[in-house]
């Protein structure tokens, strides 16, 4: 019996795989994603712009509240703007690290990453991509349109973006200099957009290092439904 719709609908038949192939595909993806790391040492080697556009297109496939896709990605590749962003980020980060704006608890949480107010990678990386979250939309008549689940939606899109870069052999850092309102001005973004994450993107430097972090095990992150516990 065909369903009746008020709006257009399409048949959807996603790929299905035999069970062994499902497991293999899942394991392959896990193996790839386990190797992803946030990188703070970049090479200045150029990266094709197409890779950036592909990663943004992948991000743009993310689910979003009411399919409002409340994101914008500003792409910066010129040295002057990168420098401007680095200097502005370092002003804020110096306040955090040296000016006492970081609470002792925050400082303690960050200690093992050995991050500092030096954000040289913002100039070294060939690309900076700033994701902006649209707090609300603008209707054609200029009125505001409410956006739903903006934070969740943009967070998922950024996850897709990071995964796409990693799949292409590129690295990035989820960078959130705090506060980051300077990015609105530098990127000439309107008032309905809020800077969400600043991503330097490129190849890892040959001598790049990352903190030796341990990820939680499956048992630490899974809780069984009470109905399943005997």
Ligand X SMILES: Cc1cc2nc3c(=O)[nH]c(=O)nc-3n(C[C@H](O)[C@H](O)[C@H](O)COP(=O)(O)O)c2cc1C
Distance CA 152, CA 154 (A): 6
Which pair of structure tokens corresponds to residue 23?
């497991």
Q: Is 72 in the site for ligand X (CB under 6 A)?
A: no
Q: What is the DSSP string of 75-139?
A: EE--HHHHHHHHHHHHHHHHHHHTSS-S-HHHHHHHGGGT--S--THHHHSSEEEEEEEESEEE-
Shortest distance (Å) from residue 121 CB to ligand X:
9
Nearer to ligand X, 64 or 96 (CB): 96
Which of 68, 81, 84, 115 binds ligand X (CB under 6 A)? It is 115
Q: Is 213 in the site for ligand X (CB under 6 A)?
A: yes
How crowded is the C-beta side of 32, counted as CA atoms within 13 Å?
Answer: 15
Shortest distance (Å) from residue 212 CB to ligand X:
10
Shortest distance (Å) from residue 176 CB to ligand X:
4
Nearer to ligand X, 29 or 210 (CB): 210
Q: Is 174 in the site for ligand X (CB under 6 A)?
A: yes
Residues at the site binding ligand X, with contacts judged by CB under 6 A: 37-38, 40, 113, 115, 173-177, 210, 213
């Amino acid at each position: 019996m065909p369903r009746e719709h008020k709006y257009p609908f399409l048949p959807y038949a996603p790929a299905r795989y035999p069970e062994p192939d499902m497991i293999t595909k899942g394991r392959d993806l896990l193996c790839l994603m386990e190797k992803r790391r946030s990188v703070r040492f970049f090479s200045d080697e150029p990266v094709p712009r197409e890779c950036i556009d592909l990663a943004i297109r992948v991000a743009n496939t993310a689910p979003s509240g009411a399919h409002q896709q409340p994101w914008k990605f500003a792409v910066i590749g010129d040295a002057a703007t990168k420098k401007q962003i680095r200097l502005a980020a370092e002003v804020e980060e110096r306040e955090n690290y040296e000016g006492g704006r970081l609470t002792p608890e925050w400082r303690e949480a960050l200690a093992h990453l050995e991050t500092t107010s030096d954000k040289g990678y913002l100039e070294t990386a060939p690309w900076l991509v700033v994701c902006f979250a649209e707090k609300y939309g603008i209707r054609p008549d200029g009125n505001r349109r409410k956006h739903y689940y903006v934070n969740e939606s943009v967070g998922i899109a950024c996850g897709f973006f990071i995964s796409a870069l990693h799949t292409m052999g590129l690295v990035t850092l989820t960078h959130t200099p705090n506060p980051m309102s300077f990015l609105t001005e530098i990127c000439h973004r309107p008032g309905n957009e809020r800077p969400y994450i600043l991503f330097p993107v490129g190849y890892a430097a040959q001598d790049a290092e990352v903190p030796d972090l341990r990820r939680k095990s499956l048992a630490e992150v899974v809780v069984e439904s009470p109905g399943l516990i005997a």
